[in-house]
Amino acid sequence: MLIRIAALAFALALPASVAAQDPATAVAVASSKRPLVIAHRGASGARPEHTLAAYERAIDQGADYIEPDLVVTKDLELVARHENELSDTTDVASREEFSDRRRTKDIEGQRVAGWFAEDFTLAELRTLRARERVGNIRTGSAAFNGLYPVPTFAEIVALVRAKEAETGRRIGLYPELKHPTLLLEQEGIDMVDLMVRALREHDLDDAEDLVFVQAFEVGPLQRLNARVDTPLVLLIRPEGGPYDEPEMRWSEMIVPTGLAEIATYADGIGPWLGHVLDPSTMQPTPLVANAHAAGLTVHPWTLRKENGFLPGGLQNPGGPAADGQYERLWAAAIATGADGFFTDNVKEFVDLLDESESGGED
């Protein structure tokens, strides 16, 4: 997601009435159905994101689903990276052998300079090593820089199935297609076709499979809806609209009539957290109830614990890397009744849910 850290936190501090509320009490008023724990890029608060190590750690911490963002190599392999530009999350910029691959591209209206996955074969990409994207905040994760390769979607599926066999529980996959329309326009790469092929190859194309496929675009989801029974989720940014539908605005799509239209091709929405919580009161907006009325599941993003991702009223001393009073925000989020949440901090979210179910007793 091309969203700056500041956009991920609410601009306003929590009102005193909310800030004073005990987290366990706030959680207790949430929906009685335990929300899904969706590991955002794996346990990305503890290991470099989109690595098998991050995914496995998230599973071990209790995640219900792991979320790989998918980009495509030159030889049409689906691999996991936050963006198709590689320098933020790998060591490609330090590799002299790839210095000539650096170029500038238009990425949905933004000029981006760097190294792009679609310019590398899988074999070339295998030589790169992952690095922490926000190392100034997640210094512990940055200690693992250089240790892990870029995984393929097939390897992620294999990991999930191995962990299912080991743990005896089902674990879901929540892949996101990154810039599918742009890649089709610029490179002639059809991510929808590649995703359909991968889902069928791994027998993940049925409604009962623990898979959600997500995108910030309408057309790719409509095409997927016509070809697989896998549940689909439309992601929703704070503002603007879908890249492939420039006349549409997110603000118009999250009202009841817009939600009814989304329900014709998707099974759920993945909205920015600010769409389900009123930023001035920290009370639920009508979105979750309206989406449920339209038959849509709701999975907001993203719950994070560090000061750098939290509203000013919830920040503790210690700078952006220190833990803030995240439990209060998370409790308010749970109280919206959403069906699941993307989180970078799986262990802490699972612990909060467990505590709420036990009534806070030891």
pLDDT tens sequence across 250-280: 999 999 999 999 999 999 999 999 999 986 6
Average pLDDT of 186-190? Answer: 97
Residue 362 confidence (pLDDT): 53
93-147 pLDDT per residue, tens: 999 999 999 999 999 999 999 999 999 999 999 999 999 999 999 999 999 999 9
Cα distance between residue 255 and residue 249, in whole Å: 11
Helix (H) or strand (E) holding 233: strand 232-236
Residue 281 confidence (pLDDT): 79
Residue 360 confidence (pLDDT): 59
Residue 278 confidence (pLDDT): 85
Range from 26-35, 55-64, 138-147 carrying the lowest mean pLDDT: 26-35
Burial 244-256 (b: 16+ CB within 10 A, else e): beeeeebeebbee
Residue 359 confidence (pLDDT): 72
Q: Which domains does the chain have, with CATH numbers?
A: 10-83+151-357 (3.20.20.190)
Cβ contact 259:291 at 8 Å = yes
Cβ contact 284:277 at 8 Å = yes
Q: Which has the closest alpha carbon to 208: 295, 267, 159, 139?
A: 267
Joined tokens for residue 291: 């989406």
